[in-house]
């Protein structure tokens, strides 16, 4: 409504679907593969809309522009490649720059939790991780860090990646017939939705910053405390 008052026209959902249809018709499959791979890569997973691009691939399959099994297949391959890259980061995470990165407070504790979850639950942990954005990459990195053989990781990751890609693509396929309904909902409640998303993102950023500061303060206190009585003797 603010943009309308300023005389600025923003494309509606149907218009965006039409605009992006040309891109998906020409580059849909490689774009979905690349997006799924990037979506499942450490540090990029929170900011890159790979899942949205797989979902849109399903929408365009529902509209007859793409083929649904092919969308699922390239999404599956991309997801598996992204997870394998994270696994490789974990395998090389015991020395060098990668080790310093993974020891940072923002990653160290979540990786420890992801490792415990993977050791306890195995395949269910990988499946669940794919649907929780800030855990997805950490589970794969933890698999590499803990020395899980790649073959075993691949046997776990392949069905988990297929389930993730299939859920998004099939969901988009069935959403294709509901575009007018979603457009009506966005027209009426889009402002509230945008505000809610903004608040959620702000909360996630604040939580990450607060956690990093808390960990840093704890380390500084430990360092300033010096060695214990036994060591001083």
pLDDT in tens, the chain (233 residues): 454 555 555 556 667 777 788 888 889 999 999 999 888 776 666 566 778 889 999 999 999 999 999 999 999 999 999 989 989 888 876 666 566 666 666 667 777 777 788 888 877 887 887 777 667 778 888 888 888 899 999 998 999 899 999 999 999 899 888 776 555 555 555 556 567 767 766 776 776 667 666 666 665 666 666 555 444 44
225: phi then psi, degrees, rounded to nearest 5: -70, -25
Distances from the Cα of 138 to the Cαs of 37, 52, 116, in angstroms?
15, 20, 11
- Using CA atoms, how far apart are residues 31 and 210, in angstroms rounded to an integer? 36
202's CB contacts (< 8 A; 6+ apart) are: none
| pLDDT for the residue numbered 168 | 92
DSSP character for 9? P
Instruction: Give the Cβ contact number of residue 124 at 10 Å.
Output: 13
| pLDDT for the residue numbered 186 | 52
Q: What is the pTM of this model?
A: 0.70
| pLDDT for the residue numbered 121 | 82
């Amino acid at each position: 409504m603010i943009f309308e008052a300023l005389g600025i026209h923003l494309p509606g959902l149907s218009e965006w679907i039409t605009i992006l249809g040309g891109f998906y018709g020409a580059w849909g499959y490689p774009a979905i593969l690349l997006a799924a791979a990037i979506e499942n890569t450490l540090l990029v997973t929170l900011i890159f809309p790979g899942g949205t691009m797989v979902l849109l691939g399903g929408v365009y399959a529902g509209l007859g522009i793409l083929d649904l099994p092919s969308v699922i297949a390239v999404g599956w391959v991309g997801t598996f490649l992204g997870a394998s890259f994270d696994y490789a980061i974990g395998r090389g995470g015991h020395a060098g720059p990668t080790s310093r990165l993974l020891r940072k407070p923002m990653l160290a504790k979540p990786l420890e939790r992801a490792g415990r979850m993977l050791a306890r639950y195995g395949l269910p942990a990988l499946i669940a991780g794919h649907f929780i954005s800030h855990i997805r990459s950490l589970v794969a990195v933890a698999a590499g860090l803990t020395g899980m053989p790649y073959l075993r990781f691949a046997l776990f990751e392949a069905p988990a990646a297929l389930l993730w890609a299939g859920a998004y693509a099939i969901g988009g396929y069935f959403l294709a017939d509901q575009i007018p309904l979603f457009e009506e909902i966005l027209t009426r409640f889009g402002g509230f939705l945008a505000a809610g998303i903004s608040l959620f993102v702000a909360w996630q950023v604040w939580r990450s910053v607060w956690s990093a500061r808390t960990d840093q303060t704890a380390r500084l206190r430990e360092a300033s405390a010096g060695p214990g009585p036994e060591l001083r003797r």
